[in-house]
């Protein structure tokens, strides 16, 4: 570590002695103080490489002390320490700029891992949240693959930049099709981990019995079908970012193991007898209400608080104003180039319809609409007659353009189902539900009260049977 050393501010003498001993044995130089006044004085006279700060101090609120420290030296990572019953204070500290948090009691491995991560990703003399983004865009401009400069999205970009240098877990919410994976990639892209791997994992698309292996890996012979060692997503993301999409779909048993992973930064592949340490930042996402999943007993409350540290909510497309047109024009140019078409602009009538449309499928729906237009039509200007049926008045195509009719919500009279094989009835009900919900598997799964992974498996099996 650097010569500056660590600053430990802990008012309990026995704990101060234990932490100092563990850190010193690992080769760290530590200066320990017992209250906020002496801790702040040490921070100013002997600037540390990182701070370990107990939030319960005898002479001052730990959050206020951290805020003053970060105002003076925002590049110094602060690891906050709190009691088990005060995890909400730790979450508040993370949102205020802390690098990581430790909940008492924690073990030696967790303490050393938090310190090593903080030191490895500190930016000397520079707050990464204020650093110029790698995309070369302005401080308030779009990040990564995002398009749009509306006020709601500028707030999203600002939050991404502010959390970039931290190890805080980011929890992304938003409707299906709003770009949650793009958001996760943007956080990774402007963080100190940008040169490391970004590993996405859709928890809803993997059968529950295989999820543990997908996340943590397995050894050959550990279960039927394990014909070779497999590296899990957590190990693949070592040094980078692990993105857990549809995290609320995780099996409760795996939620317990994920919580242990977050607390210890160690993984144990299926069939392994020893755990190994990895250095991974977690970003997760869901289109559900995570608190509702907690209330229903489908998501562990302690895991929710561990993950829901820095929430980022992505606004639906209908709330993004002129972003609708900006995205449409950008995508039109890209698709026209890919398909060898001459399109270069949207007509004013098309722009007006795009602004009025509710876009229940958000950006993903717009991509489908424009792909449909570009594939089935040609010309310099996209006209209203070229739009699919769901963007026509009363849902009917206008004359004069070659369009593909959008699927209607199919009626399923009972008489049509009676006398048919159960497998066919099941398939027709599932397909009708998918159409009703714009092709969204997670939404259809909620209506049918099954896991999205169940629907993904059935859809894949139907596709194989038809090949």
| Residue 185 confidence (pLDDT) | 92
Give backbone dihedrals phi and psi of 234, rounded to 5 degrees, phi first: -65, -40
Q: Which residues on adjacent β-strands are paired with residue 201?
A: 244
The token pair that represents 223 in the structure block: 């279960």
The token pair that represents 465 in the structure block: 């049977």
* Helical (H) or strand (E) element with 334: helix 323-339
Q: In whole angstroms, how far apart are CA 322 and each of 153, 302, 303, 361?
A: 11, 40, 38, 17
Cβ proximity of 125 and 75 under 8 Å? yes
Sign of CA dihedral 405, 409, 412, 413: negative
Which CATH number does 414-466 carry?
1.10.10.60
Whole-model pTM: value is 0.64
Q: Which residues on adjacent β-strands are paired with residue 172?
A: 285, 312
- The dihedral region occupied by 381, where left means phi > 0, alpha psi between -120 and 50, and beta the remainder, is beta
CATH topology (fold) of 162-315: Rossmann fold (3.40.50)
| Residue 124 confidence (pLDDT) | 42
To the question of domain 6-126 being in CATH 3.30.565.10, the answer is no
Which strand ranges, in their side-by-side order, compose the sheet holding 100-103? 30-33, 6-9, 50-54, 78-82, 100-103
Burial class (CB in 10 A: 0-12, 13-18, 19+), 58: exposed
Cβ proximity of 391 and 324 under 8 Å? no
Mean pLDDT by 10 residues, the chain (467 residues): 77 90 88 92 91 91 89 86 74 79 81 80 43 44 83 88 79 90 91 89 80 83 78 88 90 86 83 84 89 88 85 90 92 90 90 89 89 89 87 53 40 65 83 77 78 75 65
Cβ proximity of 39 and 81 under 8 Å? no
Q: Which of 101, 92, 163, 152 is nearest to 130 (CA)?
A: 163
Cβ proximity of 67 and 25 under 8 Å? no
The token pair that represents 97 in the structure block: 């700029």
Which residues of the chain does CATH 3.40.50.300 include?
162-315
Give backbone dihedrals phi and psi of 202, rounded to 5 degrees, phi first: -90, 105
| Residue 409 confidence (pLDDT) | 45
Cβ proximity of 166 and 190 under 8 Å? no
The token pair that represents 198 in the structure block: 């970004």
3-class secondary-structure state, position 200: strand
Cβ proximity of 332 and 370 under 8 Å? yes
Q: In whole angstroms, how far apart are CA 194 and each of 116, 189, 235, 335, 432?
A: 18, 5, 17, 28, 42
What CA–CA distance (Å, rounded) separates 458 from 120? 45
Which CATH number does 318-395 carry?
1.10.8.60
Which residues of the chain does CATH 3.40.50.2300 include?
6-126
What CA–CA distance (Å, rounded) separates 433 from 407? 12
What CA–CA distance (Å, rounded) separates 341 from 333? 9
Burial class (CB in 10 A: 0-12, 13-18, 19+), 265: buried
Task: Quick: pLDDT tens for 291-305.
Answer: 888 888 889 988 888
Cβ proximity of 432 and 415 under 8 Å? no
Which residues of the chain does CATH 1.10.8.60 include?
318-395
Cβ proximity of 153 and 170 under 8 Å? no
């Amino acid at each position: 570590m650097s010569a500056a050393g660590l600053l430990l501010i802990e008012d309990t003498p026995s704990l101060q002695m234990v932490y100092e001993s563990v850190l010193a044995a690992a080769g760290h130089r530590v200066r320990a103080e017992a209250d906020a006044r002496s801790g702040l004085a040490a921070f100013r006279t002997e600037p540390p490489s990182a701070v370990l700060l107990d939030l319960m101090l005898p002479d001052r609120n730990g959050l206020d002390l951290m805020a003053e420290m970060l105002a003076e030296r925002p590049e110094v990572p602060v690891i906050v320490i709190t009691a088990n019953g005060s995890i909400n204070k730790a979450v508040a500290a993370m949102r205020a700029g802390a690098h990581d948090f430790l909940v008492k009691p924690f073990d030696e491995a967790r303490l050393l891992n938090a310190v090593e991560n903080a030191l490895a990703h500190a930016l000397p003399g520079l707050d990464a949240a204020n650093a110029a983004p790698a995309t070369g865009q302005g401080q308030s401009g779009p990040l990564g693959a995002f398009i749009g400069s509306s006020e709601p999205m500028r707030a999203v970009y600002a939050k991404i930049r502010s959390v970039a240098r931290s190890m805080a877990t980011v929890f992304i919410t938003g409707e299906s099709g709003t770009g949650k994976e793009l958001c996760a990639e943007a956080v990774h892209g402007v963080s100190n981990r940008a040169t490391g791997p970004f590993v996405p994992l859709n928890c809803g698309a993997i059968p529950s019995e295989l999820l543990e292996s997908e996340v943590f890996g397995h050894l050959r012979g550990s279960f039927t079908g394990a014909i070779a060692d497999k590296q899990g997503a957590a190990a693949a993301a070592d040094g980078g970012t692990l993105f857990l999409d549809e995290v609320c779909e995780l099996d409760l048993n795996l939620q317990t193991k994920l919580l242990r992973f977050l607390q210890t930064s160690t993984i144990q592949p299926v069939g392994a007898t020893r755990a190994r340490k990895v250095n991974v930042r977690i970003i997760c996402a869901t289109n559900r209400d995570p608190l509702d999943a907690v209330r229903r007993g489908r998501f562990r409350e302690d895991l929710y608080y561990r993950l829901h540290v820095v929430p980022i909510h992505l606004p639906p497309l209908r709330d993004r104003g002129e972003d609708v047109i900006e995205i449409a024009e950008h995508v039109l140019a890209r698709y026209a180039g890919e398909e060898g078409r001459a399109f270069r602009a949207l007509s004013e009538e098309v722009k007006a319809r795009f602004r009025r449309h509710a876009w229940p499928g958000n950006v993903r729906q717009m991509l489908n609409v424009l792909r449909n237009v570009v594939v089935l039509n040609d010309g310099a200007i996209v006209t209203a007659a070229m739009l699919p049926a769901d963007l026509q008045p009363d849902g009917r195509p206008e004359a004069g353009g070659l369009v593909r009719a959008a699927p209607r919500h199919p009626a399923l009279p009972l008489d049509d189902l009676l006398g048919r094989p159960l497998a066919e009835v099941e398939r027709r009900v599932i397909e009708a539900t998918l159409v009703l919900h714009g092709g969204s598997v997670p939404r259809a799964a909620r209506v049918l009260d099954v896991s999205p992974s169940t629907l993904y498996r059935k859809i894949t099996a139907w596709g194989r049977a038809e090949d």
